[in-house]
Structure 1
Amino acid sequence: MPLSLRRRRLVALGLLSAGALVTLGAVLLPYRPVIVSGAQPPPGPYPMPAAVAGLRLHVFNTGMNRMSALLVGEHRPWRPAPAFVIEHPREGLIVFDCGLSTSVAREGESALPVPMRWLFESRGREGRTLDAQMREAGLEPARARWVIISHLHDDHIGAAASFEGATFIGGLGTAGKVLGLSAPRWREVDFHDTRALPPFDASLDLFGDGSVVLLRGGGHAREDVMALLALPGGPVLLSGDAVVHREWLHSDNVERVAVDSQRAADVRNQVRALLVARPDVTLLPGHELQGAPGSRGDVTLHHPEWFKAEAWPLSH
């Protein structure tokens, strides 16, 4: 290899390493709240898409996570890692997020790449991954036609390999980042030219019938996608980690988990406004299952006893 080329590569590697160290160093500073007020959305009322007969939602929990105090402060309870399956009367099975992987179920956070393994604890159990629970429920993973990925963090893509026959849908920059799937198996959502669905500033009606409307996030991770479901019993918002949990929603502290603090606060305010104006909307955050509707005919909670930390081994 010519000396000049070798030198350029070494310099580039050095810059990448320096960048990683700077990022990690920023995270390792003593925790302080990140208070961002955010922009206020336009006032309501906020019309929602009409309910779609035959649409159903299945709710699963695939394990428990606990964030590092470096990211969220001293209050860091174990929180669920849910995944969802939508039964559509025309489109069949649609997965929203894939939960924890079998490797995490076996090895905990040590199965995750650095620095993720340093920044949160993760617990699952073999036989309780999303694909295993779907089979137990009679929802064969091979029947899934669509998989919506809210964002590319490991605890949301763990069982993705079980859905190789599906078309994956994600935000910009997600194609090929899971399973190495090529572009024809991916549909990247670009919200640039889409319509607002107040209080949200960008939306995409995925199937053209109002059943599953994708909403732009972009604060927790740049590719954040949420999904608004027009269920017969009332709308349900699957937020992914655009809303990590309700405690996060009710504070102006966006913590250290957001890649874009301002955008995270803007999206938080949009969800806040929706829930105030439309109490009929059920929010299912990225890491909370308390409040999931268990008495509706269009929502099925699978093993609700697994929604609590006590149901999972918290040490390896």
Structure 2
Amino acid sequence: MPAAVAGLRLHVFNTGMNRMSALLVGEHRPWRPAPAFVIEHPREGLIVFDCGLSTSVAREGESALPVPMRWLFESRGREGRTLDAQMREAGLEPARARWVIISHLHDDHIGATASFEGATFIGGLGTAGKVLGLSVPRWREVDFHDTRALPPFDASLDLFGDGSVVLLRGGGHAREDVMALLALPGGPVLLTGDAVVHREWLHSDNVERVAVDSQRAADVRNQVRALLVARPDVTLLPGHELQGAPGSRGDVTLHHPEWFKAEAWPLSH
């Protein structure tokens, strides 16, 4: 596990709520958050991890999503609560972002990408040029084939060479899944994207319902489980859950935590 990096900070935002289709998950389908994250690095500046829901979804709900995504889940946002808007409110100007890490290309994770056209985008293999309507002059694809294992994970990449942000291979929920392990001063934080959708799935043996490779999804789940057993000091922030986000740490800021709850959003769209 990389050593803590002084001056590294994490900002946690929620950009809306999603609820899976009953056809996929049955009657148990709670509304779950659509978070996005901003990392302040002492040398690299602002780093975005996932971009949340779009302004179009804030206005139109899931009808703004392409087929088949609009059939798979309901989606709710609010204008003025997209990631870029919340960053400006927090004094984190989107134009200052130098790096944007995309965990995977599902629409609820790329909504505000157009606000970061000056940044270098980082994603898994096959992601370059796949964000429609966005001209990204700098896109770096991460190829984990020749990288080192970071047990219990089978492939890792130290993004900046200082241990601050270590990218980990997913590949079950989407082929391009990328996770990020952050060496924060107050203890490591794992941002999983939808490689771990929420803790309920992590602690179950259910098959991933929306996965390109259900066996790989299960393997990644077992790797995350093993990490949390070996290192209980790791804080887990899944792709669609903010319960357990640390609110009393000096190196983590929760922005509008009242928006982490479903009742803060227009669910009856």
Q: Would the TM-score normalized by the shorter structure come out above 0.5?
A: yes
Measured in 2, the distance between the counterparts of 1:196 and 1:255 equals: 24
Cα distance in 1, alignment partners of residues 133 and 255 from structure 2: 30
Kept in 1, the 8 Å contact 2:13–2:35? The answer is yes
Root mean square deviation, CA, Å: 1.0
Match of 1:304? 257
Question: Is this contact kept in 1: 2:20–2:73, CA < 8 A?
Answer: yes
Deviations 1:50-105 (A, max 9, x none): 00000000000000000012222321100000000000000000000000000000
Q: Deviations over 1:19-73 (max 9, x none)?
A: xxxxxxxxxxxxxxxxxxxxxxxxxxxxx10000000000000000000122223
Distance 2:142 2:136 in 1: 12
Tell me the SS of whatever aligns to 1:215: strand
Q: CA deviation at 1:178?
A: 1.6
Q: 1:173 to 1:137 in 2, by over 3 A?
A: same
Mapped contact 2:100–2:122 kept (Cα < 8 A): yes
What's the TM-score once normalised by structure 1's chain length?
0.84
Q: How far off its partner does 1:119 sit?
A: 1.2
Structure 2 partner of 1:255 = 208
Closer, same or farther: CA 69–255 of 1 in aligned 2, 3 Å: farther
- For residues 163-191 of structure 1, the C-alpha deviation after alignment (integer angstroms, 9 at most, x for no partner) is 00000000000001125566851000000
Please say if residues 121 and 136 of structure 2, whose CA atoms lie closer than 8 Å, have aligned partners that are also in contact.
no
Q: Cα offset for 1:114?
A: 1.2
TM-score of the pair, normalised by structure 2: 0.98
Separation of aligned partners in 1, 2:181 and 2:117: 24
Contact 2:9–2:40 (Cα < 8 Å) also in 1: yes
Identity of aligned residues (%): 99
Secondary structure, counterpart of 1:184 in structure 2: coil
Distance 1:294 1:164, change over 3 A: same
Q: 1:41 aligns to what?
A: none
SS at match of 2:137: helix
Shift in CA distance, 183/132, structure 1 to aligned 2, threshold 3 Å: closer
Unaligned runs of 5+ in 1: 1-47
* Equivalent residue pairs, number: 269
Mapping 1:1-316, distance limit 5 Å: 48-179=1-132, 184-316=137-269
CA contact (8 A) 1:175 1:182 kept: no
Q: In 2, are the aligned partners of 1:123 and 1:313 still within 8 Å (CA)?
A: yes
Relative distance call for 1:88 and 1:155 in structure 2 (3 A) is: same
**Distance in structure 2 (CA, Å) of the matches to 1:179 and 1:136:** 27
Moved >6 Å (runs of 4+): none
Give the 3 Å change call, closer, same or farther, for CA 117–182 of structure 1 in structure 2: closer
Would you tell me which structure has more strand in proportion to its own residues? 2
Indicate conservation of the 8 Å contact 2:117/2:135, yes or no: no
Q: Is the 8 A contact 2:228 2:234 kept in 1?
A: yes
The CA distance in 2 between the partners of 1:127 and 1:210, in whole Å, is: 34
Q: Name the CA distance, whole Å, in 2 between partners of 1:238 and 1:232.
A: 16
Cα 1:142–1:182 shift into 2, 3 Å: closer
Moved more, 246-255 or 175-184: 175-184
